[in-house]
Amino acid sequence: MPTMTAEPLPSWDLDEGDEIAPGLTALNLHAVVVAKVVRPHLVGDERVLRGLTGEWEMLGRLNHPVIMRGFDAALDGPRPHVVVEHLEGPRLSSLVRRYGTLPAEQLVPLGVQLASAVHYLTNEGIVHLDIKPSNTIMGAPPRMIDFSVALTAEEAKGVTGTVGTDAYMAPEQADPNRLGPIGPASDVWGLGVTLYRAAAGVLPYSKPGSEDAPPEVRWPQLVEPIMPLEADIPPAVKDAIMWSLAFDPADRPTPAELSDQLEPVLGAMPKPRLSKLKPRL
């Protein structure tokens, strides 16, 4: 039998700008991404370049729906950068600042999804070390971003200096020599403070002092008890958040335990109704 060769399918061979129909023109579609580029004065800074390299390596091994994806990187060129996905939605910090605290219908799903991401990181042997509202993009699902200070769990055990953002550091991150080692429980603390801030609009302790302030002023979480969580949310959710903020890392829940406490509340909730958000004046 003769060999049948498939003929190429016909094409319109449209170029960008060609008219398809009156008022309808052809466009070349491109994916929108974000390039994190090192600032010009820091291109030669080895510490900054190590952080960028570490973030790219972390993103390359992670695959979770609540964690930002990385696509490409150029780490040794004139403009070192990492290319990551573009995420639709505001940062949690911006949302709370503009509209106020989250209702339980938003807070509980957020907690379950972020706990899922922390559980995944723990199983992968990675600690984020900078979980906070400004590193949480409120999409569907929410996304955890910025792995610039993330470490493997083994690397974290050897940390002797502070790492993270002062207001969201676990006590052992602020004083690893005395309270360490740093580990997955540190991310549970960051998640707990993030949910507390989203529920109450404030930190669970005083605002941190300046970098040159004494330790007890710069990191009030080292000396101050956690303030009661004043928010209109189910008691089980309050308990879960407060549990996450136990001073001793061994007393905090694992991410799976945290999720186990939140999921029954989520399952009992009515489906949320769409409503318009009114910004603060």
Mean pLDDT for 155-163 is 94
CATH number among 3.30.70.100, 1.10.510.10, 3.40.190.10, 1.10.3210.10, domain 92-268: 1.10.510.10
Residue 32: per-residue pLDDT: 83
What's residue 7's pLDDT?
Answer: 65
Instruction: List, for residues 254-265, the tens digit of each pLDDT value.
Output: 999 999 999 999
More confident of the two residues 76 and 189: 189
State residue 174's pLDDT score.
96
> pLDDT at position 4, please?
55
Report the SS3 class of residue 259. helix
Domain 33-85 has CATH 3.30.200.20: yes
* 28 φ/ψ angles, rounded to the nearest 5 degrees: -85, 120
pTM above 0.75, yes or no: yes
Delimiting residues of CATH 1.10.510.10 domain(s) in the chain: 92-268
**24-42: pLDDT as tens digits:** 676 676 778 888 899 999 9
Q: Could you tell me which residue, 29 or 188, shows the higher pLDDT?
A: 188
Residue-level pLDDT at 13: 77
Highest mean pLDDT among 26-35, 83-92, 238-247: 238-247
Looking at per-residue confidence, does 112 or 5 come out higher? 112
Looking at residue 182, what is its pLDDT? Answer: 96
Percentage, residues of the chain above pLDDT 90:
71
* Degrees to nearest 5, angle at CA 197 with 195 and 202: 160
Q: Which of 229, 224, 265, 264 is nearest to 244 (CA)?
A: 229
pLDDT confidence bin for 274, thresholds 50/70/90: very low
Phi, then psi, of 33 in degrees rounded to 5: -130, 175
Q: Where in the chain is the domain with CATH 3.30.200.20?
A: 33-85
Within the chain, residue ranges assigned H as helices are 46-61, 92-99, 104-123, 153-157, 171-174, 176-179, 184-200, 215-218, 235-244, 255-268
Name the amino acid, one letter, at 100: G
Q: How many CB atoms lie within 10 A of CB 243?
A: 16
What would the DSSP string read from start to end of 139-172?
A: SSS-EE---TT-EEHHHHHT--S--S-GGG--HH
pLDDT per position as a tens digit, 116-155: 999 999 999 999 999 999 999 999 899 999 998 999 999 9
In degrees, to the nearest 5, what angle opens at C-alpha 248 toward C-alphas 245 and 253?
Answer: 55
